[in-house]
Amino acid sequence: MGSSTVSSSLQSRPNIVIPYNNRLAPLFIRQALYSLIPDGIEHIYVIGIGSSRINGDSLGPFVGSLLNNNFPNHLTVLGNLRAPLDATSLVPELSQLNLRKNSFVLAIDSVLGSEKFLNSIVVKDGPVVPGSGLGNTLPPIGNCSITGVVLENDPSLKNSLLCTDLNLIYTMAIMIAKGISLTVRQYFKYPSNHSLIQIC
């Protein structure tokens, strides 16, 4: 589990909580993100945090693969299934990142949370702290974050990350990726027929 970056939930600011299987989830995500991105942003970075080897920690890489190369002029995606950003690679990769002027960083990660938020997508105004759910020490990432609550924050359940339902993770990833794409499409005024996701 040393390479996992699953996070614990952060409760410092009000969050938008969306059931992962709500068919309107991408629209709710777009609405939340659009209200958080300041005027004048010229580029958005999506940081897909997690491991491709652990089901419950693969949300970030799945989202990264679904968004990869979809809006190359306005969206840069770091972390995908081919090149995941886990606990061992995250800091070295991000330390080499030179953000463009007037950019906005959106972090995507799996989290452990309370039972009432289980299987929810959470949009937060502020960063995520990767790995805190498993006792790792990594820096906060993101101007805002989208997380998927995949397990209860219970130490006895952490081994269950290895066999978390992959359909849950993939469905969350599709909802999140579509929500981000809708946001980028609206914010940067792409045509309405511009594709939303790449199929993994």
Q: 29-43 pLDDT, tens per residue?
A: 999 999 999 999 999
Residue 2 lies in a domain: no
Residues 6+ apart with CB under 8 A from 160: 56, 151
Number of domains in the chain: 1
Per-residue pLDDT, 81: 96
Q: How far apart are CA 199 and CA 101, in angstroms?
A: 30
Residue 196 lies in a domain: no
Residue 200 lies in a domain: no
For the chain, give the percent of residues with pLDDT over 70.
90
Does residue 158 register a pLDDT over 70?
no
Residue 194 lies in a domain: no
Domain that residue 134 falls in:
7-187
> Under DSSP, is residue 200 helix (H, G, I), strand (E, B) or coil?
coil
Residue 198 lies in a domain: no
Count other C-beta atoms under 10 Å from residue 156's C-beta.
Answer: 7
The CATH number of residue 134's host domain is: 3.40.50.1450
Rg of the Cα atoms in the chain: 15
Tokens 């020490």 sit at which residue?
137
Highest averaged pLDDT of the listed ranges 13-22, 64-73, 190-199: 64-73
Q: How far apart are CA 173 and CA 88, in angstroms?
A: 22
